Copies of this chain bind each other. A is one copy, B any other.
Amino acid sequence: MIKEYREAIAVTPLGGGAYSAQITEGWAIGGNVFGGYLAALIGNAISHDLAELGHPHPYAVSAYFLSPSAPGEAIIRVERMRLGKGTSTVEARLFQTVDGVEVERGRVLATFGDLAAMKGDTVISSTPPEMPPIEDCVLTALAPDELKQYINIFDRFQMRLDPTVKGPVGGKPTNKPYAQGWFQHNDGSPSDPISLLATADILPPITIDFGQMGWVPTLELTVYVRAIPAPGPIRVRHECRTYAGGFLEEDCVMYDSEDRLVAQSRQLALAPRPV
């Protein structure tokens, strides 16, 4: 059964820092559960765990993926490593049971705090990337069915892509090392510090715009959440600086409707595995 964002990341506390969750259908790329969804799911478990300490928001989250997750039951175990006044640091591990044995799917180190309590002047600030207005951007849900069968998550978001980068929605590859667009949740959920962990991984890999189809496995993903987003769509852009030797990185920035940088992320990924 497909669930939309808010229900898909729901967790149930089991006590002792353990949380159960259901990885739902429809959140996959080439049969592999989308890493951004897993990051938001794990982040949601950590947020539940640290809310009582006044640290519900991710400041920094680093995720290493160990084996492909599958739809179905999952357990997240949160270990509190350092509890501070302003921030707490944890480790969180995602498990699924296969043939009676718990298999680790991914491990996360993270520092959480309270973004609403941040204090300090704005000394340096950046400006959002230029992109076409939302009404001129192309909804990923309108991509051809053969692409959406492979990239299920195109149906999970109101993600509107800059049409000058055509590859991801079925056009001719334009060999541009970036992708960008406007992001909103399907189920009307406002973007929040946890959902930005998913948005950080939402854009189609730049490899598609180089005519290379296939699953691009993320080795590592680190997200910094810098502010609580204002209501409205998030402008998201990622860019690759170096794609060589079978590896590429994607650097991502996210801006809210008030032009603030609300999150930034980077991932190291492997060149596409052929479909």
Contacts and interface: CB of A to CB of B under 8 A. Distances in A.
A119 B245 contact: yes
A120 B271 contact: yes
A241 interface: yes
A249 B220 contact: no
B118 A268 contact: no
Nearest to A206: B124
Nearest to A111: B219
A119 B246 contact: yes
Interface string A123-144: 1111000000000000000000
Given A219-B87, A242-B226, A246-B120, A109 B59 contact: no
A224 B268 contact: yes
Interface string A48-61: 00000000000110
Nearest to A62: B62
A12 interface: no
Contacts of A60: 64, 219-220, 268
A121 B245 CA distance: 6
A91 interface: yes
Interface string A239-259: 011111111110001000000
A69 interface: no
Interface string A213-227: 000000110101011
B82 A243 contact: no
A227 B206 CA distance: 21
Interface residues of A, number: 50
A44 interface: no
A67 interface: yes
A34 B60 CA distance: 20
A242 B125 contact: yes
A77 interface: no
A182 to B, nearest CB: 20
A59 B264 contact: no
A244 B64 contact: no
B118 A247 contact: yes
Interface string A183-212: 000000000000000000000001000100
Given A59-B247, A220-B60, A210 B123 contact: yes
A166 interface: no
In order of increasing CB-CB distance, the 10 nearest A-B pairs are A118-B245, A120-B246, A62-B62, A60-B220, A124-B243, A122-B244, A123-B243, A126-B241, A222-B222, A66-B82
9 contacts: A59-B247, A67-B82, A81-B104, A81-B107, A120-B245, A120-B246, A124-B177, A124-B243, A241-B264
